[in-house]
Amino acid sequence: EVQLVESGGSLVQPGRSLRLSCVASGFRFGDYGMSWVRQTPGKGLEWIGFIRANSYGGTTAYAASVEGRFTISRDDSKSIAYLQMSSLTSEDTAVYFCTRLGGDGTGYYFPFFDHWGQGVLVTVSS
Amino acid sequence: AIQLTQSPSSLSASVGDRVTITCRASQNIDNALAWYQQKPGKAPKLLISDASLLATGFPSRFSGSGYGTAFTLTISSLQPEDFATYYCQQFNNYPPLTFGGGTKVEIK
């Protein structure tokens, strides 16, 4: 069974940084792209970015709203994906979901989200 | 960025009703559309990919159709467990990957 478990959410002051982690199990982590999606009551679901499998370069792509502030990385040896967030503002307050990109297990990816974690709340406030 | 417009934003329906939700893309996305179901307090679940491919675990009363810019999600006979919010998402042209605003299906 595929499981994605996020951690690291908290209350953080504006301008500060925070790192979220996503521990994956139940599949060959290294063969899949991983992504982060956030949700706010006012803006619905918003894609943040993804990281491809290393067999596809391990490269990343981001939404314009977080480009340059957020970084997605992965540690295939530990089956963990990370979301490093910096220069946080109140606009970043949301529930953050770790997701797995659709794929065939070869590293090739389909950019939709076939499995989701339970989500973790990040609140940016002074 | 490709914009997705869902309609209606909410609807009330009864058990057994046929329900149709529409998702329109601001430009052609071929069949690169996914649908998700989200229940309160839970993460979304992939419901349909490639516009019409039903995800594992969902019953056949759910179906998706469309190509290009117009897509529909149909629930042929609404069941109590189907009351949820449904989102579409395009993956033809990115970044960014984009979602529709959601359609909340409520009990009449």
Per-position DSSP letters for chain B, written without gaps between them: ---EEEE-SEEEE-TT--EEEEEEESS--TT-EEEEEE-TTS--EEEEETTTEEPTT--TTEEEEEETTEEEEEESS--GGG-SEEEEEE-SS-SSPEE---EEEEE-
* Residues of A in Cβ contact (< 8 Å) with B56: none
pLDDT of A60 over the 90 cut: yes
Tell me what percent of the residues of chain A surpass a pLDDT of 90: 89
Mean pLDDT for chain A overall: 95
User: Nearest CA to A20 among A103, A118, A125?
Assistant: A118
pLDDT bucket at A65, cuts 50 / 70 / 90: very high
Of the candidates B55, B95, B101, the beta carbon closest to that of A44 is on B101
**Inter-CA distances, A99 with A96, B14, B19, B54, Å:** 10, 32, 28, 19
A122: enclosing H helix or E strand? strand A120-124
Distance from CA of A113 to the nearest CA of B (A): 7
Which chain A residue shows the shortest CA-CA distance from B56? A114
Contact A45 B87 (CB under 8 A): yes
Peptide bond preceding B95 in cis form (omega within 30 of 0): yes
pLDDT of A107 over the 80 cut: no
Peptide bond preceding B96 in cis form (omega within 30 of 0): yes
* Residues of A in Cβ contact (< 8 Å) with B31: none
**B49–A contact, CB cutoff 8 A:** yes
For chain A, give me the number of helices (H) and strands (E)?
Answer: 0, 11
Q: Which residues contact A21 (CB under 8 A, 6 or more apart)?
A: A6, A7, A8, A80, A81, A82
Selected for mutation to probe chain B from A27, A112, A114 (highest B CB count within 10 Å) is A112
Contact A44 B95 (CB under 8 A): no
Contact A44 B94 (CB under 8 A): no
Classify the phi-psi angles of B13: left when phi > 0, otherwise alpha if psi is within -120 to 50, otherwise beta. Answer: beta
Q: Give residue-wise pLDDT tens across range B63-96.
A: 999 999 999 999 999 999 999 999 999 999 999 9
**A117–B contact, CB cutoff 8 A:** yes
B105 touches A50 (CB < 8 A): no
B10 touches B67 (CB < 8 A): no
* Residues of B in Cβ contact (< 8 Å) with A116: 43-45
Q: Give residue-wise pLDDT tens across range B15-57.
A: 999 999 999 999 999 999 999 999 999 999 999 999 999 999 9
Nearest-angstrom CA–CA distance, B41 and B104:
14
Distance from CA of A107 to the nearest CA of B (A): 17
